[in-house]
Amino acid sequence: MIGGLFFSLLLLEGLTRLFLPISPGAQKVTLQGKKIRDWLIPGCVYYQVSTEYNAITTITEQGYRAPKIKESLDVVFLGDLFTFGQGLNDEETFPYIYAQALKNSCANLGIPGVGTIEEINMFEKYLENLHWRPKQVKLFLLAMTASFSAGNDLADNFFYSARKQNDISIIENKNLVNRSAISSGMLEGILGYREILLRYSNFLRVVKFYFGPLLRSKLTQDIAAERLDKALKITFEQLSRLDELSRKYTFDYQIYLLHPVQDIIEKTYIETLNRLNEISPVPIQSTAHLFEHEPQNFYYSYDGHFNALGSLKIAEFLISQDQPNSSN
């Protein structure tokens, strides 16, 4: 039976590689076809390429994603890849749509692969070195308190702080699972190697491509309470820091909560919002209500980030709040 199962998996692997090849992840390619690694090369124009998209990406001379700010600066968008717009053309990102609709001068300071600490670090450099003086700042937290899923700002803040403190026990062991929540260590072990498995198995990539949101919701692992509390404490320090910057540089700011698709499917987004509101200097606005009906339609299945429809939903929500004579 084991031999038959092994042969079947090999057959499926071969057939999917032949008839349905799936890219193991996004690549960045210049207009001339040269691969690059950096997301934020000043003045660069490149494609984000995967099985799910082929998105034109423009980085301004000052090192942030289009649109380019005008003479004065109205709004700065802070966030991670969801704000930057992974898999989206320039004009599909919600900062771009917002800027065009309200004719505002906006800067998309979404930074791929980082958490709140590094986002505010970068923003402060623009304030000090380039003398940015925005009227308004919108910070987008991508967070989920039920799990330290990939891209979760809470996890990014936690690990960044551990690296700064040279906490080897955390740096070398990223296993943040509450073991009491899993009856068997086998699932935990498999999930720990999922990135490696996806890199080499096209069959598993096909499964993720078609069932990504469902898999994310069902294979989400709980996080140990003490680790979550520490991550929230670190995030509180950063939100307080943004509050201090707002007084020093006299800008208004709002904080919005973006949710991984599994946070919405499993309806744990209310818990996430409540925990983050406990540590925030200002009320945080959740965006979960925009995606409660068939949330999988607004996220890339394999990639996990907003697709064009999801980004448009966020843009329309922001526009409805800020447009003149808005009742919100």
Q: From residue 19, give the alpha-carbon distance in Å to each of 26, 42, 146, 200, 203.
A: 20, 39, 37, 16, 11
Is 315 part of a structural domain of the chain? yes
Helix axes 153-164, 116-129, angle to 10 degrees: 80
Strands (E), the chain: 27-30, 35-36, 45-49, 54-58, 75-79, 106-110, 136-142, 252-258, 284-286
State residue 167's pLDDT score: 60
Q: Count up the domains in the chain and report the number.
A: 1
What range does the domain containing 278 cover? 64-322
Q: Tokens representing 234?
A: 């670190």
140 by DSSP, 3-state: which?
Answer: strand
CATH of the domain at 252: 3.40.50.1110
Rounded distance, CA 328 to CA 322, Å? 8
User: Quick check: 273 and 280 in contact, CB under 8 A?
Assistant: no
**pLDDT at 26 (0 to 100):** 93
Inside any domain, residue 306: yes
Residues of the chain falling short of pLDDT 70: 150, 167-193, 220-222, 325-328
Q: How far, in Å, CA of 241 to CA of 115, rounded?
A: 14
Q: What is the distance between the alpha carbons of residues 39 and 242, in angstroms, rounded to a whole number?
A: 24
SS3 label, residue 57: strand
Would you say residue 328 lies in a domain?
no
Beta strand 35-36 with 45-49 is unpaired
With respect to residue 219, please indicate whether it lies within any of the assigned structural domains. yes
Cα(135)–Cα(45) distance, integer angstroms: 28
For residue 40, being part of any structural domain is answered with no
pLDDT tens across 151-197, in order? 799 999 998 998 888 765 554 455 444 433 333 344 444 555 677 88
- Is 99 within a domain? yes
Query: Cβ(39)–Cβ(28) under 8 Å?
Result: yes
The answer to whether 77 and 106 have CB atoms below 8 angstroms apart is yes
Whether 27 maps to a domain, the answer reads no
Three-state secondary-structure class, residue 77? strand
Please report whether residue 36 resides in a domain.
Answer: no
How far is CA 86 from each of CA 249, 261, 310, rounded to the nearest angstrom?
A: 30, 15, 12
Q: Is the Cβ–Cβ distance between 293 and 43 less than 8 Å? A: no
Predicted local distance difference test score (pLDDT) of residue 196: 82
Q: Given this model, what pLDDT does residue 187 score?
A: 43
pLDDT at 124: 98
276-302 pLDDT per residue, tens: 999 999 999 999 999 999 999 999 999
What pLDDT does residue 181 have?
A: 37
Cα–Cα distance for residue pair 228/92, rounded to 1 Å: 33
